[in-house]
A = this chain, B = another copy of it.
Amino acid sequence: MRADDRPEATRDRLLDAAGAEFAEHGFRHATVREICRRAGANVAAVNYHFRDKESLYEAVVTRAHRYAVDKFPPGLGLGADPTPEQRLGAFVRAMFLRMFDEGRPAWQGKLMAREMFEPTRALAILVNDIIKPQHLELMSIVRALMPGAGEAALRLAVNSVIGQVLHYHHARAVTALLQPAAQYGAEDIERLAGHVTRFSLAGIRDMAGGGG
């Protein structure tokens, strides 16, 4: 049977397997051999279909980006003419969903979180294609909540929001040791998103009112 006849061509299976491995272990720790094993392909498959491990990684990153944009469009459950508060809530919720969704390719959030901590050459791609647009969107949301605030204050507020969300991903190993009972199911994600949104709104309003 030729590869094209199979339900999934080898190239696609490699992208799937690589996405899972890269998201779980990072670029360096993920091994080409394990990726090929998961994809049911030969060790040389990566070098044949993609030039090398790094090019495969870039392909995974851009693919995850396209998928994430499809699955979590910017609007994301917002009605027409939403308030800034609603936009912030939707933004935070979407970030949580991207990071904790265990669906098929849920790598986008995990890859992004990992690149932040352990950058590779693909970081420039990620920043330009994914992070910068989201950063600008969150900046505009916060700007609407803090009219008249300077750029520096906006950045501080944005970092506070992002930091809270990413922490639940970064620190999950520690959390598992500190609070063994805690598990992140679907409703917990909604609870966390609600908390971060309210907490951040209070902080932002304080910044807007206090005059900095």
Contact residues of A with B, CB < 8 Å? 26, 28-29, 115-119, 123-124, 127, 131-132, 135, 155-157, 159-160, 162-168, 170-171, 173-174, 177-179, 182, 192, 195-196, 198-207, 210
Contact = CB atoms under 8 A, between A and B. Distances in A.
A173 B207 contact: no
Contacts of A157: 199
A159 B184 CA distance: 14
A26 B192 CA distance: 29
Contacts of A166: 163, 167, 170-171
B198 A210 contact: yes
Contacts of A117: 117, 170-171, 173
B163 A159 contact: no
B160 A195 contact: yes
Contact of A167 (B29, B131, B167, B196): B167
A127 B132 CA distance: 34
